[in-house]
Structure 1
Amino acid sequence: MEPLRRVTAATVDVLEVLLSATEPVWGLEIVRATGRPAGSVYPILGRLEEQGIVASEWEQQSERVGPRRRYYRLTEDGATEALRACAAFAASRHGRAS
C-alpha cells in the first residue's frame, strides 16, 4: 500500500470518523458525522478504497425499506496509514499557526 495522496481537511475528517468507529460505518453516517457534503465524502471514500486504505461492502438483505447501504471500514494497513496521515496533517496545521 502506498502512502495517502491528497490529504485535505475533508479527508482527515473522513479518516477520523473511520478511526473512531468500532464497526463498519454506513456512508451517510460519515457524511453526517463530518458535516461535509456527500459530493465530497463519497469521492474521498472512493479514492481511499482505490488506495487500499478503506474496504467496503454492501449491506446484506435487510428488513429495512430503501436502497442498500454501503458500509466502510479501514483496512489493517489503512488504519496505520490513517493515523500517520492525520498526525502529519495536524502537525502541518500546527506549524502554519505558529
Structure 2
Amino acid sequence: MAVVVAAAIGSTLLYAGVGALVGDTAARHVGLPGLLFSAALYDLLLAPFIVPGVMWLARRRQKAARSPRPGPRPRPGTSPRAGSPPARVCASAASAAVWAP
C-alpha cells in the first residue's frame, strides 16, 4: 500500500513539475495538496475495483478478435463448393462412376 501511495504522489509531482516547465498551471489552480490527496485516494480505493474490470473487458475483446468468424453456411443438399449440388456415385456392375446431375 505504501508503494502505491508513493507512486501516486511521485507521478502527480512529476506531472506538476513538467507542467511548471512548459507553463501549464493546472496543478496550481487545483492546488497541489488536493491533487496529491485525490491521486492517492483513487489509487488506493478505486483502482483495485476498476482495473480488473478493464482487464476483463480487454481480454474478452482480444479473445473475440482471435476467434474465427463463422462464414455463411451452405444450403442443405449442396456441396461446400459455391452452390453446386453434391456429386453422386452411380454404382453399376462394371464400375463406379462419379456423375453430377
Name the structure where strand makes up a greater proportion of residues: 1
Of structures 1 and 2, the larger Rg is shown by 2
Bigger relative contact order, structure 1 or 2 (CA pairs below 8 A, ≥6 apart): 1
TM-score of the superposed pair, with normalisation by structure 1: 0.31
Name the structure where helix makes up a greater proportion of residues: 2
TM-score of the superposed pair, with normalisation by structure 2: 0.31
